[in-house]
Chain A
Amino acid sequence: MSTASLLHLLRRQAIWWVLLLMIIIGALISDAFTRPAYLINILRQAAPVGIAAVGVTLVMIMGGIDLSIGAIVSVAAVTCAALMDGDPGRIGIAVVASCALATAIGAANGVLIGYSRVSPFILTLGTAIVIYGMTQIVTGGTARGAVSPGFREFFNQRLGALVPVLAIAFIAIALAGIALQRLTRFGRSLYLLGSNPLAARLCGLPVRRVTILAYAASGFFGGLAGLALLARSGVSGSLAASGYEFDVLAAVVLGGTSFQGGRGGVGGTIAGVLILMIAFNLVNVVGLNYHAQLIVKGLIIIAASAIYHRLDSNPGEAS
């Protein structure tokens, strides 16, 4: 095996070793990390951020970014709760409608970015404000609706008295994301567009369609994340997931998908989410205040970007 491919393999595997290391560090600090129930609970805890991060990973492979993800997750959660309104018979329609709305918002992001070619970073920060504003107008700024009985119970029941359905749903969605990225033409288009946009265009890749699809996918996964958030916490406030973009971005970047695009994948993101959640739990265990999590997130975003950038750049390359 050549050095280059060994480095490549190391780069792809490294994040899982870091995850293992985090669990070992956790176990040294607190016994809780040796109990399967606790570890599986971390999986459940990670579901909303993790599911949202799957979609954002797809966008970032393409070289885009979706910072409106927190707003999309919030609007999906509040829409679902408002449509259910405590009636078990309306769970189906609420789930479908909130995912459709989230997908539509994502597609709108994609259209704006695909046709204007502006910086998605700033644009999605702007659409986030629009989404929050409109959500607040509709809800009046307070939590609306109520979660139907049966909804949370279904997702939080533990199969075999151990694994919550929500954790299984998270794994299933992650696997679906990996399949989308690896096995479909769409997935390969994302990598081509991300690693060399000009070549992609010259190859006749339908750049706009791929862009719109990617952001729509980000919206769709954001919708699922909204449902997961609702299932996990029952919170249906209009700002339920504000600030999620920081968690999601930290997880994706940590997982090895770079801001420049063309690299990484959903698998790494899942490891990234789990590391992030363990880090948050450790912050709590050590007795630091909740706000220290913000500092941890920020440092992870910066450090992970810098380390991967260092690993990727050739020694001879300028800037």
Chain B
Amino acid sequence: MSDPVARPQANEPLSAGRSGSATTPITSLRRQRPPLIAVLLIATLFGCAVFIDRFGAADNLANIARQGAVLALLAIGQTFVIAAGMIDLTVGALATLVVVIAAHIMNGESANFPLALLAAFGIGVGVGALTGVLDAVLRIHSLILTFGLMSVLGGVVFTYTDQSSGAPSPELVWLANGSVGGIPVALLLVLLVTIACQVLMTRTRFGVHVQAVGSSLTGARHAGIPVARVKWICFVISGGSAALAGLLLLGRLGTGYPNAGDGMELDAIVAVVLGGTSLAGGRATIIGSVAAAALLAILSNALNLLEISSFVQMTIKGVIVVAVIIANRPRLPDRAAASA
């Protein structure tokens, strides 16, 4: 199973992939998905620009980029975890913890910025590392492990503070809301992280290992891949990305709001799956995840511009979650045979 992983850009005729889905579901999906998210993204952008008045304004587009940056970062981290066949539900609560503690430490002062940065990444990477260790030691499913940890982290946040307090320093506000030559800093940051992580995922031994672990745990173990270490690093990356996302979130919110990251873990998972990474593991695209995060940010912005109530938006979001999960469903052999 690790052979197709090593060559993600297999160049076979498209028609074979469509009609032959019964025999090679994985390769056919890989070819079809990235264009799907690209088509969706372009169509949505075009549709919104044509039909919604204020959508195309430069400041609105910059706003979308800044809003989407937080989700994109969470999705990038989640991609590694999902590619390795696991899931990390802690990232929303973890980002919140970073928001609250970084806000408290900074308290709006530039002098405290380095310390807060250190604390944020210490917490993010530390919790990620802890999750990874627990995953290796307890050997319970990552869903149930991170679901429990999500509750613990939520409790820690609210024990720490149950009201908004503290403020980001000017540097962080600039990172989250500033621009360089008209381009939002947050967008540049996300592009940088995206390129780095895409290279890490597709061009390094570690990336190949991640996808090998995701496609077949036993296969990867037999191939001599240090499975436990690979999974651990995935959780560390996820924690680190949650820290960075939390910092940007704080910069945007302007205060340490203890519900800041509520539900973001699910948004991140949806972005990853929508982007073309398989929930079953073994197939990953960082660029797809980022494109999907952009798509979700655009949709959210468009619904806001159309003055759709937040309750309707919530419902639409839920429907998107369900639809995306079902569209990504695993193809079982007997099912494929029946439909062929």
- B-contacting residues of A (Cβ < 8 Å)? 112, 116-119, 121-123, 125-134, 136-137, 141, 246, 249, 253, 259-260, 289, 291-302, 305-306, 309, 313, 318-319
Contacts and interface: CB of A to CB of B under 8 A. Distances in A.
Contacts of B144: 249, 253, 259, 301-302, 305
A302 B159 contact: no
A295 B153 CA distance: 7
Given A126-B266, A137-B311, A294-B151, A319 B326 contact: no
Contacts of B154: 291, 294, 298
A54 B214 CA distance: 34
A295 B279 contact: no
Contacts of A318: 218, 221
Contacts of B221: 318
Interface in B304-340: 309, 311-319, 321-322, 325-326, 328-330, 332, 335
B321 A305 contact: no
Main secondary structure of the interface of B (DSSP, over half): helix
Interface of B: 87, 134, 138-141, 143-145, 147-156, 158-159, 162, 217-218, 221, 263, 266, 269-270, 279, 309, 311-319, 321-322, 325-326, 328-330, 332, 335
Main secondary structure of the interface of A (DSSP, over half): helix
Contacts of A301: 144, 147-148, 151
19 contacts: A116-B329, A118-B330, A119-B325, A121-B143, A122-B87, A122-B266, A126-B318, A126-B325, A130-B315, A130-B318, A246-B147, A259-B141, A294-B152, A298-B153, A298-B154, A301-B148, A302-B140, A302-B145, A305-B144
Contacts of B332: 117
Nearest to A306: B138
A247 to B, nearest CB: 10
Given A130-B318, A301-B148, A293 B155 contact: yes
A130 B325 contact: no
Contacts of A291: 154-155, 158-159, 162
Contacts of B158: 291, 294
Contacts of B317: 129, 133
Contacts of A297: 148, 151, 155
Contacts of A118: 279, 325-326, 328-330
B325 A137 contact: no
Given A112-B322, A123-B322, A309-B140, 9 more contacts: A125-B266, A126-B270, A129-B321, A130-B319, A131-B318, A137-B315, A253-B144, A301-B147, A319-B139
B277 to A, nearest CB: 13
B266 A136 contact: no
A298 B152 contact: yes
Nearest to A290: B158
A117 B315 contact: no
A256 B204 CA distance: 42
Given A294-B158, A309-B139, A122 B279 contact: yes
A116 B155 contact: no
Contacts, number: 144
A137 B109 CA distance: 42
Contact of A298 (B139, B141, B148, B217): B148
B218 A116 contact: no
A319 B140 CA distance: 9
Nearest to B143: A121
B149 A298 contact: yes
Contacts of A112: 322, 326
Nearest to B138: A306
A167 to B, nearest CB: 27
A241 to B, nearest CB: 15
A58 to B, nearest CB: 18
Nearest to A295: B155
A296 B335 CA distance: 42
A60 B325 CA distance: 20
Nearest to B221: A318
Nearest to A125: B266
Nearest to A71: B318
Nearest to A124: B322
Contact of A306 (B140, B152, B321): B140
Nearest to B319: A130
Q: Which of A293, A299, A306, A319 has the most CB of B within 10 A?
A: A306
B145 A129 contact: no
A293 B158 CA distance: 11
Nearest to B263: A129
B134 A302 contact: yes
A300 B152 CA distance: 10
Nearest to B316: A133
Which 9 residue pairs of A and B lie closest in terms of their CB atoms, listed nearest first? Answer: A294-B155, A133-B315, A129-B318, A298-B151, A126-B321, A130-B318, A298-B152, A295-B155, A301-B148
B326 A292 contact: no
Contact of A295 (B134, B159, B217, B314): B159
A13 B91 CA distance: 37
A127 B318 contact: yes
Contacts of A134: 315
